Structure 1
Amino acid sequence: MILDRLTKSIFDSLHEGILIINVDGVVIYVNSSYTRITGVNSDDIVGHKLSDVRHGAILPKVVETGEKLLRFKRRTENIEYIVNMSPIIFEGKVIGGISVVIELIEAYKLAKDLKKSNKMIDNLKYEIKSMRKAKYTFDDIVAVDEKSLNTIDYAKKISKSNLPVHIYGESGTGKELFAHSIHNESYRKNEPFIVVNCANLDKQLLESELFGYEEGSFTGALKGGKMGLFEVANGGTIFLDEIAEMDYSLQAKLLRVIQERTIRKIGGVEEIPIDVRIISATNKSLNKQVEKKEFRQDLFYRINVFPLHILPLRERVNDIKQLVELFLEEIQRNYKRNVEITDEALKLLYSYQWPGNVRELENSIAFAANMTEDFIIDVTHFPKYIQNARKDSIQIKSLSNYVEQAEIYAIKKALDKYGNDVDGKKKCCDVLGISLATLYNKLSKYNISV
């Protein structure tokens, strides 16, 4: 058996030690790494029978049996190494054998690096799994007010579906809380839950985050490409927060994803099938966005299958007391301050309009808790603009104004009950004790649409 120049050149360049014998057990080649690792001089071994110069050599037996021997540990004086031995087979016959020698210190280093890598992978898997989990359930939502309870009941019903949900409401009302809860109430609860804030990234970054990209698709693209969040969310739910901020051209790609149930990475040609439920949210009116050509009408209809309106706090004031109690419990738990609130302070909170909703209420309680010195929150501990809310809410109106409001309420109530057609209006007049002409005059006067 003769080694050609190319084969020798390849073996000479290897970091691992190489020793080759022919079918008679004579050493025909060793590379410099072999002599470095084993401490054996090349002239003392090449051209000699391996069994004569290396007592206890196993490679001749490998040639004889034709069976590989892997991860065989050897020691020469103070040197330890691992040997992988294989027969060399040509045209169905064993014509020699080869030993590949790895320094034990290298093997230990590889094992250590592998262990370290596996630990990093396990940590990353744990972090990713934690990131993918929805944190909240409907039990975490404070709801005492009847309107809030009705909202939760509706949200629970739509949770069981696989169709898109669009959550809308003012900032601070808890839209993300509902998105988490809907996912945890669905059959996808054990699958990924991915949150994407569409306002935080520009068009190109958001597109690459959502759909991923192939290697070399743009300047700065990672080697090997990147998986998109729709792929990461496969089988679960993706929550597109502040969807009204999504670039108009990118909306077309999202529409295609919803329609085709596939995605295509930036720079890619392959269509990747996905099974993802979409929950979106915004504090803007998408209807108005559609009218202004800032949001695609066809996409709006696709994501708005189940519209979910989260009421502002001022329309569910009965939740305020329980929310305050929750925030005070958190203060006691986090800061070891057992703070209470007076009835007068609670009345103040009921009279304020809360433009920042639950988030503003939480911040206001934290502010007041830091202002009190005796651990009892009173009216004076809140910011001045909240204290002034009670004064602003006490407005004396003229008697005629109260009469007008009562008439408007009574007319609307009657029309709702009996209908807007002529027969319905006649029944309204009988109940209200007015003529049909008077009814039409009042409809016009108060600008009541029918």
Structure 2
Amino acid sequence: MLEIVGWIRLILNSLSEGVLIIDKDSKVVYINDAYTKITGVKHDDIIGKPLSSVRKGAQLPTVIKTGKEILRVLRKEEDSEYFVNMYPIVFEGEIIGGISIVTAIDDAYYLSEKLNQLRDKNRFLLKALQYSSSAKYTFDDIIAESKLSLKTKDLAMKIAKTDNPVLLQAETGCGKELYAQAIHSGSSRKDGPFIAVNCATLSPDLLESELFGYEEGAFTGAKKKGKVGLFEMANYGTLFLDEISEMEYSLQAKLLRVLQEQTIRKIGGTNEIKVDVRIICACNVDLLKYTNEGKFRKDLYFRISTFPIFISPLRERKEDILPLTDLMLKNISINLKRNIQISSDALNVLMNYNWPGNIRELKNVLEFSATFAQNGTIQVQHLPEVIQRSVLNSYSYNAANEKNLAERVKEFEKNEIERALDLFGNTVEGKKKAAKYLGISLASLYNKLNY
């Protein structure tokens, strides 16, 4: 008489559906013969190993973390397509593992018309996710040297560990999407999709159809089999709503309902669809002021601003300019296939510019200047004229208190040395770095300070 474990193995190996089981640490403890037949993955290549190390993009570990099943996921292995249903294994109220049930498409063709519709929907979903759902950046990609930047980065890293909505507020060009992607990558949803949409670039009707999707025949011109919305595409992941301040007022009410109920209803549909999505919003305006002016719903504002993060403009964190410039010049050198550097004089100009366009403007300026630096070193004359004029004006003196040229030169040099010391510190080592940064000897630095 076979023992119960033997019976279970015999039963599972009798199924035409593939079965994979992992323990609570996401290590694979069992696969049946059908799983190998459908996926091509052999027993010895996967047993005892972490699932994610063998099966890239595996979602079963997410099921263990969330305790929520994931159904009807379409996957493809070379010439084989199949559906996967994933469930947590619960014993005495504790999740002890997870199980995947794999059904080959050839078998699924014999199911109902509803299954065929789901197959079409999932094909569209996976194709869309392939091109738009990856988060490229992590917190390692955020340059932070100034105290302001370090404080902001540290706050964002702590917030990433939660699952609450986040509101990023910053001027244009400060790197809001960089922070949004880093928060996603640092969260428990990092293996899920990251979907971004700019609310200002789409009309209200188009934005609604993009967010919620629509059913077949919902309106004139609707696709025959409807459309999957971004909320469904971002399921178990993060949806980034950039320029949320520009969302039409009535659509804000629908977004609020999604945040409260965690369900959506497609345009033209009647069914409520459950979604599990984290929302990260961003804007470059004072959103609280918008609420007081009646341009933005107060109830939505307080819902999305559970964790507000303010990213300082570049002019308030100039210590970041030097490391940002170094990184950007490395990337520019790779793109141009030649080494690009910057002179100390040109760097001084960058340090004294006000940067209304922030990091994006710095990147554009360096790319522009590198084009004209034929010898590989960006000089002041290679910088855009608007930057040269702006910094030159900042050095203008009061005509009523005019000094001779020698005095003005001494004052300018002393001011620049003091700026460098503020950047590198007033220690002996800091003065050495400041002298190197300014292109003068340490002795010259001491002499000019003692004018």
Contact 1:133–1:193 (CA<8 Å) still a contact in 2? yes
Distance 1:305 1:124, change over 3 A: closer
Q: Distance in 2 between matches of 1:266 and 1:205?
A: 11
Q: CA deviation at 1:272?
A: 1.0
Alignment match, 1:10: none
1:206 counterpart = 2:244: no
Q: Distance in 2 between matches of 1:393 and 1:163?
A: 44
Distance 1:124 1:235, change over 3 A: closer
Q: Give the match's secondary structure for 1:182.
A: helix
Alignment match, 2:303: 302
Alignment match, 1:391: 392
Q: Distance in 2 between matches of 1:392 and 1:163?
A: 46
Higher Cα radius of gyration: 1
Q: CA deviation at 1:202?
A: 0.7
Distance 1:124 1:233, change over 3 A: closer
Alignment match, 1:378: 379
Normalization by structure 2: what TM-score?
A: 0.60
Alignment match, 1:342: 343
Q: CA deviation at 1:222?
A: 1.1
4+ residue runs over 3 A deviation: 121-127, 395-399
Q: Distance in 1 between matches of 2:203 and 2:388?
A: 41
Contact 1:368–1:381 (CA<8 Å) still a contact in 2? yes
Alignment match, 1:272: 273
Please show how residues 3-402 of structure 1 align to structure 2 within 5 Å: 125=126, 128-394=129-395
Q: CA deviation at 1:131?
A: 2.0
Deviations 1:188-212 (A, max 9, x none): 0001111111111111111111011
Q: CA deviation at 1:137?
A: 0.4
Q: Distance in 2 between matches of 1:340 and 1:123?
A: 46
Q: Which amino acid aligns with 2:241?
A: L
Contact 1:169–1:312 (CA<8 Å) still a contact in 2? yes
Q: Which amino acid aligns with 1:203?
A: P
Q: CA deviation at 1:259?
A: 0.8
**Number of residue-to-residue matches in the alignment:** 280
Q: Distance in 2 between matches of 1:126 and 1:227?
A: 11
Alignment match, 1:447: none
Q: Which amino acid aligns with 2:151?
A: N
Deviations 1:14-68 (A, max 9, x none): xxxxxxxxxxxxxxxxxxxxxxxxxxxxxxxxxxxxxxxxxxxxxxxxxxxxxxx
Q: Distance in 2 between matches of 1:227 and 1:124?
A: 7
Contact 1:351–1:389 (CA<8 Å) still a contact in 2? no
Normalization by structure 1: what TM-score?
A: 0.60
Calculate the aligned-residue CA RMSD, in Å.
Answer: 2.0
Distance 1:250 1:142, change over 3 A: same
Q: CA deviation at 1:127?
A: 6.1
Contact 1:348–1:389 (CA<8 Å) still a contact in 2? no
Q: Distance in 2 between matches of 1:385 and 1:331?
A: 22
Contact 1:145–1:317 (CA<8 Å) still a contact in 2? yes
Q: CA deviation at 1:291?
A: 1.8
Q: Which amino acid aligns with 2:252?
A: Q
Q: Which amino acid aligns with 2:167?
A: H
Distance 1:254 1:126, change over 3 A: closer
Q: Distance in 1 between matches of 2:375 and 2:232?
A: 54
Q: Which amino acid aligns with 1:142?
A: I
Q: Give the match's secondary structure for 2:240.
A: strand
Distance 1:238 1:127, change over 3 A: closer
Q: Which amino acid aligns with 2:306?
A: V
Alignment match, 1:424: none
Alignment match, 1:18: none
